[in-house]
Amino acid sequence: MATTAQVSSSRRRSSAGPLFSRLIVVGVALLAVGWAFSTYKQLVRADQEVRARWTQVQTVYQRRAELVPNLVETVRAAPAFEAEPFTELAQARAQVSENSGARLQNALGDLKAFQKFQTAQQALSTSLQQLLADAGANPELQSAERFRDLQSQLEGVENRVSIERMRFNEASRQFNLLRNALPTMLIARGFGDRFDEKPAFAPSPSPARQPSVRF
């Protein structure tokens, strides 16, 4: 017959098995929750970086838009300047206005809206380049300090546009790499469109002609 001590020891061993299994399950669950929380924070940080870069892109484009009226006024004052460049520029500015403001609120989650914004801004870039090229051939404008100052400011803004677009594209690329990697994708998809893929700017086409102002 088994002694009392043997029976007690056997009972402890039989109860230790289920307890150990439960502890393993709880431990695995805690690790899974911790990983999910950490992954969510990574997605949030990457998403915020993209949005911050997007804000910078819009800021430099807005700065460019503020310079355009002064450029038009300065160039119009020059004699014998054709109206065609102004017409093209006005159309491009109207297109930009149609794809700005409230329409950009969800642009990072709406590929069509993002592409329309890019197309409109590129059309304005092309029109500005053509206007500056034509203005640069005008002797009076070549010697006008105000025109030279505006040209310098616009060139600086265009450089900033290129830089901010590049930074935005890199932030979008990093976010998409994180978002599409397994098993992170499972967390991203679990939040619906909160962590959709981010768009990116396509490379700007080379202009047909470059501004050529000589001093």
**Residue-averaged pLDDT of the chain:** 83
Q: What is the mean pLDDT of residues 94-115?
A: 88
Which residue would you say has higher pLDDT here, 39 or 16?
Answer: 39
CATH code, residues 31-195: 1.20.1440.20
| Nearest residue to 171 via CA among 76, 67, 55, 36 | 55
Burial pattern 37-68, b for ≥16 Cβ within 10 A else e, equals eebbeebeebbebbeebbebbbebbeebbebb
Identify the band that residue 213 occupies on the pLDDT scale cut at 50, 70 and 90. Answer: very low
Concatenate the DSSP letters of all residues of 19-65 into one string.
Answer: HHHHHHHHHHHHHHHHHHHHHHHHHHHHHHHHHHHHHHHHHHHHHHH
For the segment 168-183, the average pLDDT, to the nearest whole number, is 95
